[in-house]
Amino acid sequence: MKKEWVLTQDAFDELLAWLDADRDRAGSKYETIRLRLIKIFTCRGCSEAEELADETINRVVARLSDIAVDYHGDPALYFYAVSQKIHLEYLRKFKARKAEVPVEAAADQLAPTIHCLTDDIERDYDCLERCLDKLSANNRELVLGYYQEEKQAKIDHHKRLAQEMGIAVNALRIRAHRIRRTLEACVHGCLEQQPAH
């Protein structure tokens, strides 16, 4: 998406001041809003989720002097309202772009997807092993133990694990997921450092 407005330091400071009087808390709120906007655009099936989130933020900042004084409520919801407009614009552009692409060209565009899903499995696994080694022994054991088994056996397995650890099943689920997220971020970092074959 084409950006028509560039975020300056002054405008960014103004945004932070609107989000919270405490600058550190404001920075954290900004990061949270941005991350969640990206996720929302992703969940709507947008392939340019990050750009759309940044465009949403830019639009809010551009109107900040008009809204900051009179706006009441959680600023995150104002971002949400703007993101709805951005999404509609995206859909319009997407439809127009899709109509212009001939069928043959659309078929050609499928090839990279196939490459992405079938290649580099060894590279992914090597990175995973490295990242597993970076986890503490307890976390490694937990994440590898948690994701064993399938279907009903998985449910029973989680109950048994939670019982052994003396915590609720949902607490275990959250703990395993947090370790998984750390692991996933590590694997992405590892893959970015390695050249693709």
Closest approach, Cβ 10 to another protein, in A, equals 26
**Nearest approach, Cβ of residue 14 and another protein (Å):** 21
Closest to another protein by CB, 8 or 181: 181
Query: In angstroms, rounded to a whole number, what is the distance separating the alpha carbons of residues 145 and 159?
Result: 12
107 interacts with another protein by CB under 8 A: yes
Q: Rounded to whole angstroms, how far apart are CA atoms 83 and 64?
A: 15
For the chain, the straight-line distance linking the first and the last C-alpha, in angstroms and rounded, comes to: 30
Minimum distance, C-beta of residue 17 to another protein, in the bound complex (Å): 20
- Told to check if 85 binds another protein by CB under 8 A, we report no
Nearer to another protein by Cβ, of 68 and 186: the residue is 186
Assign 3-class secondary structure to the chain: CCCCCCCCHHHHHHHHHHHCCCHHHHHHHHHHHHHHHHHHHHHCCCCCHHHHHHHHHHHHHHCHHHHCCCCCCCHHHHHHHHHHHHHHHHHHHHHHHHHHCCHHHHHHCCHHHHHHHHCCHHHHHHHHHHHHHHCCHHHHHHHHHHCCCCHHHHHHHHHHHHHHHCCCHHHHHHHHHHHHHHHHHHHHHHHHHCCCC
Nearer to another protein, 6 or 117 (CB): 117
121 scored as a contact of another protein (CB under 8 A): yes
> In this structure, which amino acid lies at residue 18?
W
Q: How many residues bind another protein (CB under 8 A)?
A: 51
Among 70, 150, 196, 197, binds another protein (CB under 8 A): 150
Closer of 3 and 177 to another protein (Cβ): 177
Touching another protein, residues 25-64 (CB under 8 A): 33, 36-37, 39-40, 42-43, 45-47, 49
Contact residues for another protein (CB under 8 A)? 33, 36-37, 39-40, 42-43, 45-47, 49, 74, 76-77, 79-80, 103-104, 106-108, 110-111, 113-114, 116-118, 120-121, 124-125, 127-129, 132, 144, 147-148, 150-151, 170, 173-174, 177, 180-181, 183-184, 187-188
